[in-house]
């Protein structure tokens, strides 16, 4: 059974720019991403919004390999701040996992 953390989304929502909840999973970002990952970032955003902290931690390599190139954002119909959201996930992992500030 998945373990839900209410703190995850609450902590990330401290930034007004973090707007993963705007994603409606159309897949445009996935199709455009130069990395070619099949599920990122939309699956990741869904996990964040559901508070699935363990699943998010499993995606650490994907979180840090985002190029922040904004190709996905250029065509995102929901205007999700994808690159900034990914950077905020890094900030969260840095603090929680790596003890980096």
Partner 1 sequence: MPLPIGPVLGILSDNLRKRGSVLPLSRRKATGWSMGLNIPHGGETVLYTGLMYQLIPSIEALAGMMALFENSAITRLFGVGRFANRFINLSFFMAMTVSREMSRENDQVLRNIAGMLKLAGVEFGYLYDQELYSGALIFDEGMDESFGAHARRVFNMFHKNGVRSVITVDPHTTNMLRDVYPKFIPNFDIEVNNYMEVLAEKGLPVIQAQNKELVIHDSCVYARYEGIIEQPRTLLSKAGVTVREPELAGKSTHCCGGPIESLFPTKAHEIAVNRINQLKEKGENIVTMCPICQVNLRKAAGEGCTISDISDTLAKAYLS
3-state secondary structure at position 98:
coil
Least CB distance from residue 69 to partner 1, whole Å?
Answer: 4
Q: Does 73 bind partner 1 (CB under 8 A)?
A: yes
Pick the binder of partner 1 from 7, 26, 39, 67 (CB under 8 A). 67
- How far is 67 from 34, CA to CA, in rounded Å? 8
Identity of the residue, 21 or 84, whose beta carbon is nearer to partner 1 in the bound complex: 84
Pick the binder of partner 1 from 22, 49, 78, 93 (CB under 8 A). 93
Q: Does 58 bind partner 1 (CB under 8 A)?
A: no
- Could you tell me how far CA 87 lies from the centroid of its own chain? 8
Per DSSP, the residues of 40-91 read TTHHHHHHHHHT-HHHHHHTHHHHHH-----HHHHH-TT---HHHHHHHHHH
Q: Does 11 bind partner 1 (CB under 8 A)?
A: no
Q: Which stretch binds partner 1 (CB under 8 A): 2-10, 19-27, 43-51, 91-99?
A: 91-99
Pick the binder of partner 1 from 35, 39, 54, 58 (CB under 8 A). 35
Take residue 28 and report the two structure tokens written for it: 């445009």
């Amino acid at each position: 059974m998945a373990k839900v953390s209410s703190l995850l989304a609450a902590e990330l929502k401290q930034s007004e720019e973090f707007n993963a909840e705007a994603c409606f999973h159309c897949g445009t970002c996935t199709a455009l991403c130069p990395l070619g990952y099949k599920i990122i970032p939309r699956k990741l955003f869904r996990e964040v919004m559901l508070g699935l902290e363990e699943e998010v931690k499993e995606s650490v390599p994907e979180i840090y390999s985002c190029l922040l190139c904004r190709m996905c954002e250029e065509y995102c119909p929901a205007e999700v701040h994808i690159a900034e959201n990914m950077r905020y996930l890094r900030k969260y992992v840095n603090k929680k996992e790596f003890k980096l500030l």
